[in-house]
Amino acid sequence: MKVVGPLIVVLALVGIAWCCTEYLHWYALFGLVIPYVAFALFIIGLIVRIVRWARSAVPFRIPTTCGQQKSFSWIKQAKLDNPSSKAGVFGRMVLEVLTFRSLFRNNKVEKRDSKLGYTSAKWLFIGALLFHWSMLIIILRHMRLVLDPVPQFFQILEQADGFLQIGLPLLYISDVLIVVGLGFLLARRFAIKKVRYISLSVDFFPLFLLLGIAISGIIMRYGFRVDVAGVKEVMLGLVTFHPVPADQLSTILFVHLFLVCTLMVYFPWSKLMHAPGVFFSPTRNLANNSRAVRHVNPWNYPVKVHTYAEYQEEYGEKMKSVGLPLDPEVVSTNG
């Protein structure tokens, strides 16, 4: 059910978009209202989630340390794995965000003879890299639909992506790789027993949704084709707030667009928020300088204390009269 459920939801979304545009001709809804609403909800959701994170407590330094911390000058520090300065943290974050270093190691627990061992799951690392980088390139490529004239950077990116010159329209390498990456990430959840056991429907839904987006996009390029110039007119109309009627465009475009809108609405409230979330991970974005700098809990309030000296001063006479011993130091300081 945790697999079939999300799959049915994604297929239903495809069906809804297809029927509503192909048969009911609700072009204004699917080409105008839903994209605007979805984009607005996406931005609002992002802000709400980030503000919530910002307000949550991080009273301690809790960076995960993966190497020798800063110590004596003759002990070599692992500057990226145990950063003690802001520059180190920056380097660590850059590598984490761009190359997923933490996926590179210690993700697999296995039994070797009678011992437990931690090893790396390199395949997960490679699959994640394939998917995320393809997705980034694809998103950047889509900028050609909302920018006119198209900056040279995006043109070069697109030419590089299609440089194999296979077929016409040219095959994009990133199109192949994103499906391979997503397919691997999905297959992994089926193939590895332990991962399958802990996978939930919220793990499968984003995978199916992203696969749906990728496949509908690929179909739009190689199968049911769309008038790209017409699509760009509609997209430019949306970003300039001078909407152009989208009713001459193919149905497959609305399927693709509706799935993307679903992703935008779903994104801020799902595990996909790890994208901005990685920047807010206290285990990654803090320097391990607890031994060099004193960190005081920022919301420590002045606690009203009653010291023993004050106590003895207050009750000293009574204590003396019943024969209780008094602290001579306190007595002497108080004269």
Partner 1 sequence: MTKKWTIGIFVVILIGIFAIPFLVNAGRVDGDPDVSLDTPQINALEVKECIEPTDYMRESHMVLLDEWRNSVVRDGNYEYRSQSGQIYEMSLDETCLGCHSNQADFCDKCHEYSSVDLYCWQCHGTIDEENPNAVIENGDDVLFTEKA
The residues binding partner 1 (CB under 8 A) are 42-43, 46-47, 50-51, 54, 143-150, 154-155, 158-159, 162, 165, 167-169, 225-230, 232-233, 236, 239-240, 242, 244, 248, 250, 276, 279
5 is written with which tokens? 């459920």
Minimum Å gap between C-beta 163 and partner 1 is 10
Minimum Å gap between C-beta 226 and partner 1 is 6
Residue with tokens 């300065």: 85
Nearer to partner 1, 2 or 232 (CB): 232
CA nearest neighbour of 27 among 254, 208, 207, 223: 254
Determine the Cα–Cα distance for residues 55 and 76; give it in Å rounded to an integer: 36
Detail the DSSP E strand segments found in 39-177. Answer: 108-112, 115-119
Nearer to partner 1, 27 or 104 (CB): 27
Alpha helices by DSSP H, 268-307: 274-277, 282-285
Nearer to partner 1, 43 or 202 (CB): 43
Measured in whole angstroms, the distance separating CA 217 from the mean position of its chain's CA atoms is 23
Determine the Cα–Cα distance for residues 211 and 217; give it in Å rounded to an integer: 10
Determine the Cα–Cα distance for residues 143 and 320; give it in Å rounded to an integer: 85
Determine the Cα–Cα distance for residues 107 and 122; give it in Å rounded to an integer: 9
Minimum Å gap between C-beta 231 and partner 1 is 8
Angle between helices 4-22 and 251-266 (to 10 degrees): 130
The count of other CB atoms within 10 Å of the CB of residue 35 is 21
Minimum Å gap between C-beta 35 and partner 1 is 12
Nearer to partner 1, 186 or 263 (CB): 263
Q: Is 185 exposed, middle or buried (0-12, 13-18, 19+ CB in 10 A)?
A: buried
Nearer to partner 1, 90 or 190 (CB): 90
Determine the Cα–Cα distance for residues 144 and 150; give it in Å rounded to an integer: 6
Minimum Å gap between C-beta 67 and partner 1 is 26
Minimum Å gap between C-beta 16 and partner 1 is 24
What is the identity of the amino acid at 224?
F
Minimum Å gap between C-beta 262 and partner 1 is 17
Nearer to partner 1, 297 or 321 (CB): 297
Determine the Cα–Cα distance for residues 64 and 278; give it in Å rounded to an integer: 13
Determine the Cα–Cα distance for residues 68 and 210; give it in Å rounded to an integer: 40
Minimum Å gap between C-beta 19 and partner 1 is 21
